[in-house]
Amino acid sequence: MKDYAEKRLLIILFLVIPSILLSLFVVYPTIRLLQLSFTNWNGLSNNMDFIGLKNYIKIFTDSPKVWLSLKNNGIYFTVHLLAIPLEIFIAFLLSSKIRGSRFFETVTFLPYIVNGVAISYMFSMLYSTQGGTINQILSVFNIPAVKWLSDPNLVNFSLTGVTLWRFCGMHIILFLAAIKSVPGDILEAAEIDGASLFQQYIRIILPNIRLVVEIVLFLNVRGALQVFDVPFVMTGGGPGHASSTFTLHTIETAFTFNHFGLASAMATVLMLLIIMISYVQQLLMGGKEQ
């Protein structure tokens, strides 16, 4: 009986602070977000009116900027999605027991730990039309200068280049860990049977790392729909609204224009989008496996 009381006390003592923090900073804001999304709160005043679905109706019928932003998120999402097979292949190459592979593993992951804001400024300078390195390289080949960040049709791809630089290495390391957990004797047997590198990749590696692929797909949805710091620092969403993203637009709606109600509705839509797309991806992955 004494044992039971002690156990109970410990469980309560150890969980009480984390529970409070979690309720306050994760659970409450999520519920509050839903609640605010049905109001016209301006973020400052004490009173807010319940306005039903008006915010949601506005998002879906009268907010071209929201859709433009979401389309830009789509660019990040698609480009990173397309990069995944290449990432897996590079991870596969890195997994071979070759002199220096450890070192290159470290190098590959390096961009992920570099300060994102510093990276953004770094690439702003590289993309610059005034003596930026990339245009200098082009000039060596007599290619005219390109307006990487001020051409509305190009800017999102330029920015996606930055996020690729930043995150591909991390994905590669995750894939690499998964590949390393594939039993070596399977690969050896395949090699003895004369399977080429490419065949090993398709037939053995891919099916065996499904779980990590799912995780990276989830990270990609989350990451691509929440892109913030790179466009915020590099273009501020410009030129015009050409490189705005959903998060950027939401934050602007809330903190610049004080439309907290509307911004909350946008945030809720974003949350639902992340859950929906992740779910669809999971279904597709499952379907392929069977």
Partner 1 sequence: MKLKNIKISTILIYLTFIVIAVIVFGPLLITFFAAFKTSLEYAKDFSWKLPSGLYLDNFVTVFKEGKMVLGFKNSMILVIFTILINTVLASMVAYILARFEFKFKKLFMFVFLLGMLVPSFVTEIARFGLIKSFGAYNTIAAPIIIYAGTDLMQIYIYRQFINAIPISLDQSARMDGCSYFGIYRRIIMPNIIPAIATLAILKMVEIINDMYIPYLYMPAERLRTLTTALMSFAGSKSGIFVELSAGVVLVMLPTLLIYLFFSKYILKGVVAGAVKE
Q: Which of residues 150-189 bind partner 1 (CB under 8 A)?
A: 165, 169-170, 173-174, 177-178, 181
8-41 as b/e: b if 16+ CB within 10 A? eeeeeeeeeeeeeeeeeeeeeeeeebeebbbbbb
Least Å distance between CB 260 and partner 1? 6
Pick from 121, 120, 66: which is nearest to 245 by CA? 66
Size of the site for partner 1 (CB under 8 A): 89
Q: Which of 53, 60, 67, 115 binds partner 1 (CB under 8 A)?
A: 115
Q: Which of 84, 109, 154, 238 binds partner 1 (CB under 8 A)?
A: 109
Pick from 31, 32, 30, 50: which is nearest to 40 by CA? 50
- Say what angle helices 210-225 and 260-289 make with each other, to 10 degrees: 160
Least Å distance between CB 52 and partner 1? 19
Nearest 5°: the CA angle 39, 41, 45 is 145
Contact call for residue 21 and partner 1 (CB under 8 A):
yes
Q: Which of 50, 60, 67, 121 binds partner 1 (CB under 8 A)?
A: 121
107 token code pair: 């190098």
Instruction: Single out the segment in contact with partner 1 by CB under 8 A; choices: 7-15, 61-69, 77-85, 152-160.
Output: 7-15
Contact 149, 135 (CB under 8 A): no
Contact call for residue 226 and partner 1 (CB under 8 A):
yes
Contacts of 202 (CB under 8 A, 6+ apart): none
User: Which is nearer to partner 1, 2 or 144 (by Cβ)?
Assistant: 2
Interface characters, 61-100, with partner 1 (x: CB under 8 A): -----------------------------x--x--x-x-x
23-52 binders of partner 1 (CB under 8 A): 24-30, 32-33, 36, 43
Contact call for residue 114 and partner 1 (CB under 8 A):
yes
Contact call for residue 234 and partner 1 (CB under 8 A):
no
d(CA 201, CA 166): 25
Phi, psi (deg, nearest 5) at residue 50? -75, 120
Contact call for residue 229 and partner 1 (CB under 8 A):
yes
